[in-house]
Copies of this chain bind each other. A is one copy, B any other.
């Protein structure tokens, strides 16, 4: 499968900008050195720059945040808020005060469900999600709808796996209270027309939440242009640390939210007994407890790392790998790809192989140093509608190259022969 000359030129340029050498696990660890890591939709490896930032945060700058009156505490607080500013620029928000540090995309979405929707939903209201949502953007809505007697409405998919907006009749109707959509599906790899949905929703005054967990690392993204009200993602899927994520909430929406967690640092005045307490202004109201400063700094370092390569370029690189994977996998007898040629490529390929269970595919691949995922990918509603129990999935990141794709295709073909 020779690459075109154009592709090869791009690839050469790319690999002088970034390579496995920048990622300690892939470069020099016993378990990772020879690994073709293609489970990036689950979590990505960390460049040295991010690991070093975390290290430095603990070794040179560590201190309580927003609480101390000594120079170290001032410096740490400054760095923490600087990280918020970096991430503000990264997503194009109008103000840093619209960014809330959470533990993860999952917490971000639960915060909106419990802190915003709970007080607003009434029996008969509708919350809209799509058929392709990750459980993190499905279960919180299912739970709050159950509690409030609201309806959980599903945007179904067209035959080629895209949002069937035409069939979602009441999406912008009078009972629609919130639309919660992923920007890129973690199974299909589809990119959804978020901007269009936001524009239509805004015209009817319906807020939109965007699950950007799979997109933020490689799609140029600007929340103001996108027009969304909420946007959620995790650091660990964008080359950053675990245990930290973000919720963007437009100022107006942020004003309407109640905290998910209450505790230290977020209260202004504590009422006696059960007299109401008052919360502080700004995003700190949603960050109860001691701040995760090293996490925030690592998060911002990951954003810087992405910006240094450019999301446009990263996206191109991932699309090339995805295209290559589709071509090579497509040649294996019995393979079924879950995405259609009519849908633009992103960074994910899901597939099944006739007669071989996806778990066996992943296991055989694993034994051959190719790390892919098998299962329902936390998207049971989607898999059920496709009448599948599980699929195999390969997903790409900046450090992957064509040799990873080739190893994948070989491993799948080997599995076919093993079980054939």
Contacts and interface: CB of A to CB of B under 8 A. Distances in A.
Interface of A: 24-25, 28-32, 35, 37, 39, 42-43, 45-46, 50-51, 54-55, 58-64, 67-73, 75, 103-107, 109-110, 134-136, 138-140, 142-143, 145-146, 151-152, 154, 234, 236-237, 241-244, 260-265, 267, 269-274, 276-277, 288-295, 359, 362-363, 365-366, 369-375, 378, 380-381, 384
A111 to B, nearest CB: 9
A31 B60 contact: yes
Contact of A243 (B243, B260, B288): B243
29 contacts: A28-B59, A29-B59, A31-B60, A31-B72, A39-B63, A42-B68, A46-B58, A51-B59, A54-B54, A63-B371, A69-B374, A70-B369, A72-B371, A106-B261, A106-B289, A106-B290, A110-B261, A134-B264, A135-B267, A139-B262, A140-B262, A140-B263, A142-B262, A142-B270, A241-B294, A243-B294, A269-B380, A272-B381, A272-B384
A264 B136 contact: yes
B236 A290 contact: yes
Contacts of A293: 242
A51 B260 CA distance: 30
Contacts of A51: 55, 58-59
Given A60-B30, A67-B373, A42 B290 contact: yes
Nearest to A236: B290
Given A103-B243, A274-B142, A43 B29 contact: no
A94 B142 CA distance: 35
Which of A73, A145, A234, A365 has its CB near the most chain B CB atoms (within 10 A)?
A73
Given A59-B24, A295-B242, A70 B366 contact: yes
